[in-house]
């Protein structure tokens, strides 16, 4: 069964969309947030808990799974679903961003990327064909093309040359594909140059993919520039295909970019912030280590329906975090992941009711900066 996408509704007050993405491992209502399970695990949570929190799809990473434990081993176990005991859909990132982040440890050429492992320094090569081979062995429901993620800032000349290579890599990825039951998404690059983004999207559309992603964003550029780039690029993507904004972002980013027409999001923020004691609530972010929560009997978020908020006080959560107990990470992660999933539920309901413009305005008025007390 090849994944399919159905566009169900367009919000009349914005570019927001409702859709249904059907895969061999389940159906996903969009807009959707995908918790990141880089190495075959959403950090701090067993797969059953991830499902209980309402997550319909998770993300794994080709680069990390290739290095450890190895895609051949995962294939021998019957794929990542069986290996990690997750029966829902999985999207795998191509590893392009991780290779980009290696900086001095990698070399990019037309054939692909040569890089040193961040684990043991060993030398490896991944080109478009190898990227697809790895993802087919992993058995993800959605594969991503290999691309070059640009730094910010990047000169126009560099961005243009990189875009050309990314487009050629995309064509090679499609040609290398053998699996009929895995979707393949192309990735738009071009930096912050609108005309390059437009050209790249047109070229990707000509090649033809099952979905399209905007990459190379949230790499250090001002937030307003990111929103502007998404706002101009998203409408250029094929309307009948899912639109994925890679590595973004904060609840504020998600609300703004759904408004522009984006359907899919992922970010490490919910789990990473949980491990650092930064917790999302309806209105502000809470630094749970702060002293004034020492005797606070209230739940973390009175509006949240997660296990953490139903059973534990802010005082207890602070105690666990200060004491460096493992349970602090677990309870914090449960809450943060559920917060993002609940946000997507609210977003879909607003679009269904043709009320997304009001939802967006109310969200902006209620959400403030981090708790600094």
Which residues form the catalytic set? 93, 266
115 DSSP assignment: E
Give dist(CA 172, CA 147) in Å, integer: 11
Give dist(CA 71, CA 247) in Å, integer: 23
Strands 26-30, 243-245: pairing is unpaired
Give dist(CA 332, CA 351) in Å, integer: 29
Phi and psi dihedrals of 295, rounded to 5?
-125, 25
Phi and psi dihedrals of 286, rounded to 5?
-110, 125
Task: Determine the Cα angle at 290 with ends 286 and 296, to 5°.
Answer: 80
Helices (H), 5-122: 47-52, 62-67, 71-76, 80-84, 96-101
* Distant-in-sequence contacts of 150-158, Cβ < 8 A, 24+ apart: 150/100, 150/189, 150/190, 150/191, 150/216, 150/219, 151/100, 151/219, 151/220, 152/191, 152/192, 152/219, 152/220, 152/221, 153/191, 153/192, 153/221, 154/191, 156/191, 156/193, 156/196
Does residue 259 sit in helix, strand or coil?
helix
């Amino acid at each position: 069964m090849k994944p399919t996408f159905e566009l169900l509704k367009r919000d009349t007050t914005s570019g927001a969309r409702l859709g249904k993405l059907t895969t061999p491992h389940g159906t996903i209502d969009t807009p959707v947030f995908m918790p990141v399970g880089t190495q075959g695990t959403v950090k701090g949570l067993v797969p059953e808990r991830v499902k209980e929190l309402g997550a319909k799809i998770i993300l794994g990473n080709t680069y990390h799974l290739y290095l450890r434990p190895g895609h051949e081993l995962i294939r021998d176990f019957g794929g990542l679903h069986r290996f990690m005991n997750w029966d829902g859909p999985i999207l795998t990132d191509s590893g392009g961003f991780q290779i980009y982040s290696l900086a001095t440890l990698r070399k990019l050429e037309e054939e692909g990327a040569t890089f040193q492992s961040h684990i043991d320094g060993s030398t490896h090569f991944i080109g478009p064909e190898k990227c697809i081979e790895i993802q087919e062995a992993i058995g993800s429901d959605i594969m991503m093309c290999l691309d070059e993620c640009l730094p910010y800032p990047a000169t126009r000349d560099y961005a243009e040359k990189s875009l050309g290579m990314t487009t050629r890599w995309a064509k090679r990825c499609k040609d290398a594909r053998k699996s009929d039951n895995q979707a393949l998404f192309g990735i738009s690059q071009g930096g912050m140059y609108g005309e390059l983004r437009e050209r790249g999207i047109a070229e990707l559309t000509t090649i033809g993919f099952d979905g399209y992603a905007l990459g190379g964003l949230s790499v250090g550029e001002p937030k307003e520039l990111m929103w502007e780039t998404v706002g101009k690029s998203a409408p250029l993507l094929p309307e009948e295909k899912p639109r994925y904004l890679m590595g973004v972002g904060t609840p504020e980013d998600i609300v703004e970019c759904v408004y522009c027409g984006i359907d899919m999001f992922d970010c490490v923020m919910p789990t990473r912030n949980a491990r650092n004691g930064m917790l999302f609530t309806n209105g502000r972010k809470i630094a749970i280590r702060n002293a004034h929560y020492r005797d606070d009997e209230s739940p973390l978020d009175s509006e949240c329906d997660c296990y953490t908020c139903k059973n534990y006080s802010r005082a207890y959560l602070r105690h666990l975090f200060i004491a460096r107990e493992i349970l602090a990470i677990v309870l914090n992660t449960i809450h943060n992941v559920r917060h993002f999933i609940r946000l997507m539920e609210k977003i879909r309901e607003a679009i269904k009711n043709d009320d997304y413009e009001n939802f967006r305005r109310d969200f902006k008025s209620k959400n403030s900066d981090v708790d600094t007390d």
